[in-house]
Structure 1
Amino acid sequence: MTAARDLSVGVDVGGTNTDAVVLDGAGTVLASTKQPTTPDVTGGIRHGIAHVLDRLGDDRARVSRVMLGTTHATNAIVSRRGLERVAVIRLGAPAATEYPPVTGWPDDLTAAGIAGTAMVRGGHMVDGAPIAPLDRDGILRFLDGLGAFDAVAVTGIFAPSYPEQEQEVAALLRDRLGPDVRVFLSQDIGPAGLLERENATVLNAALHGIARGVTRALRTVVDEQGLDAVTYFAQNDGTLMSLDYAVQYPVLTIGSGPANSIRGAAFLSGADEAIVVDVGGTTSDLGVLLNGFPRESTLPREIGGVRTNFRMPDILSLGIGGGTTVDLATGAVGPGSVGYSIEREALLFGGATPTLTDAAALEGASIDGRTLPSLPGADKTALRRALDHARERLEVAVERLSLGRADLPLVVVGGAGFLVPDGLPGAGAIVRPGHGDVANAVGAAISLAGGRADQLSDVEDRDAALDTASKAAIERAIQAGADPLRVDVVDVVETPISYTTRPTVRVSVKAAGPLADLRATAASRT
């Protein structure tokens, strides 16, 4: 890339604001903005990108990359809107029939996204031995009798380590239904746990249409602005993927917002290890920074009432934000928030709804140079108590995440970072980096492209499993947009597997690297 094409635009869509920034090749923030998130979300993206490009003037021609973190996927699951109907196939009978597919799903989500389910013979034991021969005829009978569906999700027992049967099913479906049938395999989505991996695969298939719509919207905005730029999506783990990759794996974007905040906080503060708190308009999201990346959760995560096991940042979310409402009569804090309506509804902006932003202004925080209207003494007391309560909850959250380490700095970012006091018991130094109010968009703009792979093996074959998983993770990072010559393994986790006849280990490998040269990327797309 030449120096004349060294600008990147980062965009992050939150529940209250859509943030956008422009960074040059040295990582300097040249322009930034916070725009209200619009009900259709696309409008906020359009306004954010337009604003920062206007600030650039003629330098807009130097923009070569646009990175987006968005809550589209999460919102679709939570609201049960826009989901495709999925035919769900599990390979594992007769061993895995006790808990059928989508067991425990909320009824309304099942109605919105599931066309039908089937459990057929197939799958593998932990040592790779087949549970039963693959029931090809049973799969075809299920689909022939199903009626209309949009996509197929296939999950086999221990498929991440023994992928052959899932791949055989994909070939069977394309032969029967045509090459354009949308088939999603669990081996591409998550590690070995069956039910959570199956759930994530089904959600991924259901989100395919949403992902296509978001990618079209982003490309439309980029084209409207006349940008000659390559577009990327942020992933759950703080890395990026190409738009085409995001369409295939939209479930990997669900945790991108908090991950972007943590990565952006690391970049802006220079910290490699810290606790990060991103205080937005609706929530405060706290996470831990390890070696410059978000610490990942080791526990299954629940999204929209569905238990999954894809890798997510270890985030603790509190209902504390600048728009969090305060009941002056009872002193209750939240759980409601005025969200992106704060500039109309909060007292500070001439509205009638008391919020934590109003409480902070009462305590001396400078917010857009505004002052509160005259308030009765009782109302002032209620606002001060609400702010104290919010800070007590933040203190408890920091203590939980620090695991007893009082020396970890607390990096405060987000538009409502003024809610965090300069001294918080249990935390180390309080760091408020410049441009911290748009740290999430900065995190999107500076992220690497990444990929992950898992492998099960006997302990004695651990080296071979590590090699296989490393190669697969590197290949997925390249598919996501990483430079093939600069991608490398950045994290390895080995977990012993209990209740097996022989000592067994699961190897999880993460690879990441700088984005590929744009000229090579553009050539590959033509």
Structure 2
Amino acid sequence: MLRLGVDIGSTHTDAVVVNEKGELLYAAKSVTTPDITSGVLKAMEMVMARGPKPDEIGAVMFGTTHGLNAIIERRRLAKVAVIRVGLPATKAIEPMLDWPQELREAVNGGIYIIPGGHEYTGETISELDESQLRQIAKEVNMRGIRHVAVTSVFSPVNPDHEKRVKEIFNEEDPEISVTVSHEIGTLGLLERENSTILNCSIMPVIKGAIESVSQTMKRLGIEAPLYLTQNDGTVMSSEYALKYPIFTVATGASNAIRGAFVLTGINDAVVCDTGGTTSNVGVLVKGFPRESSQDVVIGGVRTNFRMPDIISVGCAGGSIVKLDNNKVLDVGPESVGYRLVEQGVAWGGDILTATDVALALGVMRIEDSRIDTMRVVEKYGDYLNAAYRLIVQKIEDAIDRIKTSAEPVPVILVGGGSLMLPKNLAGASTVYRPEGAQYANAIGAATALVGALVDKAYSYEHTSRRDALADAESEAKNRAILAGAEPSSVQIVDVEEIAMPYLPGNAVRIRVKAVGKLGRRPNG
């Protein structure tokens, strides 16, 4: 069976069809539209028109920026009731205190801080007041709030109170959506709470995106399960994504890194994905994107769920070259984006871009009868070499920053804008630009495995190391199966054990990643 993969970029939306070996069979590129959805639908229609039959498609993989855009734009977000379980502690800083004001106003559906929570050892701080919780649940229901975010102190160690809060809310209203933080983030109460609230807020947005793609699949006659790509380079079923949409917000960069692995077979390398507006530089480790060890800020909010370790540089194909007093001041971060073929000098426009520079210097070629590089040379010939040196320097600086040692490493160039980069880069042992590089993001989506990550804390004074590892691995496998993996194919691909000497009790943090092949799911 074939797979159809879709990825949304700032300039173009790509759709590809690959076979079971991950080989590219059909590809199409559509302009990314302001509403995102119509561009996705057009790309899907275009690639299906190239030859594949609807009944040959066994799965559809969809990488979306809908959730991220909603957070950044503060639009179409759901109101969320926030339940923090932690009294008598945790009163000093209330939920969402440091959020941007407009985002807080868009999301805040009521804040409730109640007794409960656990110590890092798993012992109870104070008991839940279930009668108070039922009163809160009734109040939330009366106010018409349909999404609840629950965060309890040290819930990654002991999630019992979060689970009980969810049970009580669902007993009072079986239709209300309740997200518990131990399924979203890691240690760090405020960041985990923020992640859980954002997860709730974008649920309606992702639901709408899934419904739009599903309707297009139906119109095209595709009766196959739909998966969404995750931040770590794996996929999850659309049903799972409806519960955990926050895991989709950084999929573009992850898809590109995973696609670079599929196209080259190289397990460990630096990957540079150059599009029309930005170049995202990340790292392949054992065939998957290296995850960030730092808290990640999204829309002005600090979070701590899994995200790829990415350095974004505002220098790509559509980046505008800035000139002043006969000097090149900068390249980017402003970009003409998808208007390159209208505004670029080589096409007859009046804005000098990075692509114009590369075309005029003969570094890259684009088959387009409208292009006349002499326009660029005649008007900006004196600036081309300086501009190109600056473009290359920005990419080389990002490669140097993302590396963990001074030794040269393999570098894989992907994305439509990668053609403008040279075959030799400082810090690279070898530079690869594989065939199909311009479709790496969509290929990464189409070939992804189903995956899940567990990040928990344990006290080795209360639990043996063997039991702790077994517990974390078992939970990771179960989550992968829930995300849509075939149970018999699930395997552990990474285990990380981190000592936490700042906590007593021989405390450790265990991170386990599990992946598996697509499971058999009902069509549609």
- Give TM class, smaller chain: over 0.9
2:365 maps to: 366
Decide whether the 8 Å contact of 1:494 with 1:506 is kept in 2.
yes
- 1:244-294 Cα offsets, whole Å, 9 max, x none, are 100100000111111100000011011011100000001000011111111
Whole-Å separation in 1 of the counterparts to 2:300 and 2:290: 23
* Aligned length, in residue pairs: 514
Percent of residue pairs bearing the same amino acid type: 40
Task: Give the letter aligned to residue 338 of structure 2.
Answer: Y
Change (3 A) 1:230 1:104: same
Matches within 5 A, 1:378-417: 379-417=380-418
Q: Deviations over 1:82-141 (max 9, x none)?
A: 100001010011111121111210001001111121211110001111111113333344
Q: What do the CA deviations read for 1:435-467 (whole angstroms, capped 9, x no partner)?
A: 000100000011000112233222252211111
CA contact (8 A) 2:360 2:374 kept: no
The within-5 A match list for 1:24-39 is 24-39=19-34
Distance apart, 1:143 and its partner CA = 4.8
Whole-angstrom CA distance in 2 between matches of 1:507 and 1:350:
57
1:93 is aligned to 87
Aligned equivalent of 1:167, options 156, 163, 170 = 163
Two-structure CA RMSD over aligned residues (Å): 1.6
Select which of 343, 346, 353 maps to 2:344.
346
For residue 336 of structure 1, report the CA deviation from its aligned partner. Answer: 0.9
Answer yes or no: is 1:421 the counterpart of 2:443. no
Aligned residue identity for 2:425: L
Task: Check if 1:124 corresponds to 2:118.
Answer: yes
* Runs (5+) with no aligned partner, structure 2: none
Q: State the distance in 2 between where 1:317 and 1:148 align.
A: 40
Which amino acid is 2:125 matched to? Answer: I
1:191–1:310 contact (8 Å) kept in structure 2: yes
**Residue 181 to residue 60, structure 1, CA distance change in 2 (3 Å):** closer
**Higher mean C-alpha deviation, range 405-414 or range 85-94:** 405-414
- Contact 2:346/2:376, CA 8 A, preserved across alignment: no
Matched, 1:153 2:175: no
Contact 2:137/2:169 (<8 A) preserved: no
What's the CA shift for 1:241?
Answer: 0.2
2:131, 2:392 → 1: CA distance?
Answer: 61
SS in structure 2 of the partner of residue 361 of structure 1: helix
TM-score by length of 1: 0.95
Q: How does 1:456-471 map to 2 (within 5 A)?
A: 456-459=457-460, 461-471=464-474
Is the aligned partner of 1:474 residue 2:447?
no
Asked if structure 2 preserves the Cα contact closer than 8 Å seen for 1:153 and 1:183, the reply is yes
- Does 2:513 align with 1:510? yes
Letter in 2 for 1:132: S
Matches within 5 A, 1:253-268: 253-268=248-263
Whole-angstrom distance in 2 between the partners of 1:456 and 1:310: 15
Structure 2 residue matching 1:65: 3-state secondary structure: strand
Partners of 1:328 and 1:195 in 2: how far apart?
A: 44
1:373: how far off? 4.7
- Give ranges in structure 1 of 5+ residues lacking alignment: 1-5
Contact persistence 1:326–1:383 (CA under 8 A): no
Gap change, CA 1:445 and 1:462, over 3 Å in 2? same
- Where do 1:66-105 residues align within 5 Å? 66-105=60-99
Stretch of structure 1 that moved more, 303-312 or 139-148: 139-148
Residues 166, 288 of structure 1: CA spacing in aligned structure 2 closer, same or farther, 3 A cutoff?
A: same
Shift in CA distance, 373/116, structure 1 to aligned 2, threshold 3 Å: farther
Q: Does the 8 Å CA contact 2:356/2:376 hold for their aligned counterparts?
A: no
Deviates more, 1:132-141 or 1:487-496: 132-141
Query: Deviations along 1:169-188, whole A, 9 cap, x unmatched?
Result: 11111122x21011111011
Residues 405 and 32 of structure 1: CA distance in aligned 2, closer, same or farther (over 3 Å): farther
* Separation in 2, partners of 1:498, 1:419: 48
TM-score (norm 2): 0.95
In structure 1, the residue matched to 2:38 is 43
| Cα distance in 2 for residues equivalent to 1:82 and 1:383 | 44
Cross-structure match for 1:3: none
Which of 482, 490, 496 is equivalent to 2:493?
490
